[in-house]
Amino acid sequence: MKKVVQLRPKDSAKAHENEGGAPPDGKREKAPRAVVVLGATGSIGRSTADVIKGADGVFTVAAVAGGRDAQALARIARELGAPFAALADPAGYQDLKIALAGSGVEAAAGPQAVVEAALREADIVVGAISGAAGVAPTYAALKAGRTVALANKECLVCAGPAFMKQAQASGTRLLPVDSEHNAVFQAMGEADLDAVEMITLTASGGPFRGWSAERIAAATPEQALAHPNWSMGPKITIDCASLMNKGLEVIEAHYIFGVEPERLDVLVHPQSVVHGLVAFADGSVSAGLAAPDMKVPIAHCLAFPARLRTQARRLDLAAVGQLTFERPDFARFPALRVALDALRAGRGLPTVLNAANEIAVEAFLNRRIAFNEIASLVEAACDAALGDGVAREPETVAEALDIDRAVRERVRSSLPGEAAAS
């Protein structure tokens, strides 16, 4: 498969010569780089705000967008000096307007307001809105020619072909914020894709790594949310516990780096120090290492191709002591197998997978299904979509979102007690 968007540092200086930038030594003076933060109230958004505030004068913020938390969004908008703040939930408009009173920040609400935030004049848009809700505004930014620092993996899982085609048409790039893809991006360097034999993403194994299948099946939401290494939102934390998150990341890597499924691998690495590895045809392997701190890949993307000096945690290998690796256990963590099967099958199954998984995770968090039913519910949705023609490769974002909606409705209707409730 041919690579669609070249994620290469070697031609980046020319591409950014007219943009605001972040000099690695702080000596060159440039105009501040304008940033839009989509998903500003989530864990990635908060870490992005920390990076921006810590890089005095390097960035300005053109807009921020959040989901439902008007108070948190108003606070971040004030802290970052953003002139525009958009809340996805229309019902939160008055709360947001009151919270921003006297600040000079323009308030707006509703899905279209979030798209408006994405289209504000900026050098880079951080796409960190969780789930399929982030697809439309992130795509709008890409279509407008903005560089996108992508933290929402569902954009590519749900509508990967459309996103990569648009990136090529717009002449812009997607920079990977996920720690694993960012590590691969850095480890790959200027190597030609033909020289890459294997790309490996690592997984911590989550809170259930050493648990038996029976114990995992009976896990509670509280146990699943207790991630050993990372502090994240509830949906992604549950995905990490099931290893579905790693499956979604493999699908994302397929589109970002343009490699076949056969050249993508997963290793369980409990220390979360090695985030990604690239094995080359000459037998050498390059790895991206960092402390488990999302400010590291965020800073890399915001300043790219330069480097920021940040207060992110430093890696102390002597303190870590040892690094261990193991193969994932598909029997105990079937969600990873289901995701890899969907990638290999194609025909739009990643879109189906993503939609079904979001509903299944929501049902688990609401205690409507057991933890082990997440994977079985998603697999059943994929099988049903293949059987009745719902699964098809979406050529546009609109088609992908149509499939997404249809699958969500079907999975919701299959949940225990749904028929009685409706």
Domain boundaries, the chain: 9-178, 183-292+308-421
Q: In the prediction, which pLDDT does 131 show?
A: 82
Confidence label for 24 from pLDDT (cuts 50, 70 and 90): very low
Helix, strand, coil shares of the chain, percent, nearest 5, are 50, 15, 40
Q: Are residues 127 and 138 in contact, defined by beta-carbon separation less than 8 angstroms?
A: yes
The 147-150 sheet, strands edge to edge: 106-109, 84-87, 59-66, 33-38, 124-127, 147-150, 174-176
What's the pLDDT score for residue 29? 53
- Which residues face 63 on adjacent strands? 36
pLDDT band of residue 132 (cuts 50, 70, 90) is: confident
The model's confidence at residue 389, banded by pLDDT at 50, 70 and 90, is confident
Instruction: Give one word for 289, left, alpha or beta, with left for phi > 0 and alpha for psi -120 to 50.
Output: beta
- For residue 194, give the DSSP letter: G
Structure token digits, residue 92: 């939160």
Q: Which residues contact 127 (CB under 8 A, 6 or more apart)?
A: 38, 39, 134, 137, 138, 141, 148, 149, 150, 151, 152, 155
Identify the three-state secondary structure at position 326.
strand
Query: How far apart, in whole angstroms, are the C-alpha atoms of residue 33 and residue 327?
Result: 42
pLDDT at 25 > cutoff 80: no
pLDDT at 153: 87
SS3 call for 370: coil
Dihedral angle computed from the Cα positions of residues 397, 406, 109 and 44, in that order, rounded to the nearest 10 degrees:
-70
Task: State which fold the 183-292+308-421 domain adopts.
Answer: Rna Polymerase Sigma Factor; Chain: A (1.10.1740)
Residue 364 in tokens = 């688990």
Among 316, 335, 329, 326, CA closest to 377: 335
Direct distance between the N- and C-terminal alpha carbons of the chain, in angstroms, rounded to an integer:
46
Q: What pLDDT digit, counting tens, does each position of 390-411 carry?
A: 888 999 999 999 999 999 999 9
Residue 404 confidence (pLDDT): 94
Per-residue pLDDT reduced to its tens digit, 186-198: 999 989 999 999 9
Helix or strand run (H / E) with residue 146 = none
H or E element, residue 62:
strand 59-66
Please determine, for residue 422, whether its predicted confidence score (pLDDT) is greater than 80. no
Residues 211-236: tens digit of each pLDDT: 999 999 999 999 999 988 777 789 98
- On the question of pLDDT at 23 being above 50, the answer is no
Looking at residue 31, its amino acid is A
Strand-pair partners of 175: 149
Q: What is the pLDDT of residue 233?
A: 82
Q: What percent of the chain has pLDDT over 90?
A: 84
Residue 371 identity (one-letter amino acid): F
**Mean per-residue pLDDT of the chain:** 91
- Beta carbons of 86 and 140 less than 8 angstroms apart: no
- As a whole number of Å, the CA-based R_g of the chain is 21
Mean pLDDT of all residues in 142-168: 95
Q: What is d(CA 203, CA 228) in angstroms, rounded to the nearest whole number?
A: 12
Q: What pLDDT, in 10s, does the model give residues 250-263?
A: 999 999 999 999 99
Q: pLDDT per residue over 53-109, tens digit each?
A: 999 999 999 999 999 999 999 999 999 999 999 999 999 999 999 999 999 999 999
Domain 9-178 has CATH 3.40.50.720: yes
Place 30 in a pLDDT band, splitting at 50, 70 and 90. Answer: confident
- Give the count of beta carbons closer than 10 Å to the beta carbon of residue 291: 16
List 38's β-bridge partners, or say none. Answer: 65, 127
Cα(197)–Cα(179) distance, integer angstroms: 21
| 31 vs 72 pLDDT, higher one | 72
What gap in Å lies between CA 193 and CA 207, rounded to an integer?
35
Judge contact between 273 and 290, C-beta under 8 A. yes
Tokens for 234, please give them.
Answer: 């509830």
Query: 154-170 and 244-257 are packed helices; what angle lies between their axes, rounded to 10 degrees?
Result: 10
Flag whether pLDDT at 207 surpasses 60: yes
What percent of the chain shows pLDDT beyond 70?
Answer: 92
Cα–Cα dist 332/267, whole Å: 15
Q: What is the pLDDT of residues 318-354, one digit of tens each?
A: 999 999 999 999 999 999 999 999 999 999 999 999 9
- The confidence band for 387, taking pLDDT boundaries of 50, 70 and 90, is confident
Residues 70, 96 contacting (CB under 8 angstroms): yes
Contact between residue 173 and residue 167 where contact means Cβ atoms under 8 Å apart: yes
